[in-house]
Chain A
């Protein structure tokens, strides 16, 4: 019916009305578009511009690729920030995906309280990272709940997990695998529910058990979801900031063991007030994330959850 009305109007040639509609349309989107232009697109160009100057508190001389060259030779950046970020991603991505998939499969069973379980598993993803990080610090303190349990089980561990160079980053990995698994679960759940029931019926008639059905039927059918979850997870991991900032502080302590790329960017820009250098780090990170996304798009098409 709407189409018919529109056609009739077009036929009558209500030119004024169409111009009015267009003007109103521009008016309604004017504020949002101005906002996106000013706070998203202008900053991209401005970031590249800033990165070409020796810009401390005030704008200094033009240095061309100077900041990028400096970054190329920056050992703290490569040996700590990049290394930690890659180690973090290498462990947290498979962990949170596996955990998320396992939770999704269990929650997808036709049983009671599934809404409750889904909520319980998802909630850690929604709680403030600052609160979660504090709670984790307390639980992983030298005399905290975790060490108390370990000692009862006969494993004596009396150091605070976040203050030791060797255990700080692994602890953050464990923490974030836990909190993010709920989000991954929801992605997988949407995909699981899109699998038609008769696929399972066919598998059951063939006499396949639950385990076999999962690996032979469910897992391959989830392929689009795997790719989507993988990319979301990788991009999220490359942007890790909150937990390092909250637990290791702006300097990514102890001894840079929790320093990440984004924390280093924050540290250089806001703490050291090296805006030119900070902008260069931002541009490099953006280029890297953009490449990851682009590769995914080229290989697997646009992301699809359900």
Chain B
């Protein structure tokens, strides 16, 4: 394993989680040791832990279950009376959300934005991560520190300058290369400013550092160029890191509120979160369609989470650094 001189980096618990693969799910056993006469105490403790955990898990699940239940209720049942489950199950909440309140369109917009940002992050972060991990060039460490430095710059500070750049600078620049009357106070802008994140680049670079060099050397002896080595040798080996970047980026972009709230002004480009924010103020108490829209926002991430839990856990450090 090659451990190059790493600059001062954020916590890498994330990487351990990825590297251990399935091991992470098991974790380390806590203080259970075979001291005589302690079994009963242990058993009581375990029982209490179970009860507490089931209790808290149910408490945590109630809001979600309640929203799912409400999304299948006819509107009358949310106005008068009270029942845990719908008395008459209906899809009218979803029907209204999709057809009357345009959430079909918003879902598509969310998918387009999150998809584009994810693909771009995968490509740019893996290419850049490969270069930072493997290629030698003057200034590499300093440049990488600059990348990590971006994690210290909060979105709020960037709000006004980026807004003005998207309004004034960028359309002028792309006009020079023949893209006239371009606007970036819309979906294009939301995608453009999230094409790559330092967290993605960091994750890819750290993972590439753990890959043994032998395979690359072999490829090099076969006369493969750098890009071919990256594409044919490194990328196929970086599956777990690519998956983590894809999942974390998609989740962040799908849930994103801040930049879409600033840049999406045309209703036809709203994402689900912006659609929900808008809906809440316009139709305060139409609960079934609002809950249906909320379920729509949550379910894709829930499915991703169930299938790829490990990768979400892996990204928590990188995300945490950003706060």
Contact = CB atoms under 8 A, between A and B. Distances in A.
B266 interface: no
* Interface size class of chain B, counting residues whose CB lies under 8 Å from the partner chain: 35 or more
A128 to B, nearest CB: 4
A36 interface: yes
Nearest to B295: A131
Contacts, number: 315
Nearest to A306: B13
A21 B220 CA distance: 12
Nearest to A224: B11
B213 A110 contact: no
A131 B257 contact: no
Interface string B280-323: 11000101001101110110011001100100110011011101
B5 interface: no
Interface stretch (B88-96, B126-134, B235-243): B126-134
B162 A183 contact: no
A129 B257 contact: yes
Interface string A142-174: 000100100000000000000000000000000
Nearest to A141: B285
Interface stretch (A74-82, A87-95, A265-273): A265-273
A33 B135 CA distance: 15
B160 interface: yes
A129 B301 CA distance: 12
Contacts of B100: none
Contacts of A109: 30, 45-46, 49
Closest A-B pairs by Cβ, 8 of them: A200-B31, A130-B273, A25-B135, A28-B131, A25-B137, A2-B213, A110-B29, A131-B294
Interface of B: 2, 8, 10-13, 16, 25, 27-33, 35, 38, 45-46, 49-50, 52-53, 56-57, 60-61, 63-64, 66-67, 70, 82, 124-125, 127-128, 130-132, 135-138, 140, 143, 146-147, 149-150, 152-165, 193, 195-196, 198, 201, 213-214, 217, 226-227, 230, 251, 254-255, 257-258, 261-262, 272-274, 276-277, 280-281, 285, 287, 290-291, 293-295, 297-298, 301-302, 305-306, 309, 312-313, 316-317, 319-321, 323
Interface of A: 1-2, 5, 18, 21-26, 28-29, 31-33, 35-36, 38-44, 46-47, 50, 103, 106-111, 113-124, 126-139, 141, 145, 148, 178, 183, 186-187, 189-190, 193, 197, 200-201, 203-205, 210, 213, 228, 232, 235-236, 239, 241-242, 245-246, 249, 262, 265-266, 269-270, 275, 278-279, 282-283, 285-286, 289-290, 293, 302-306
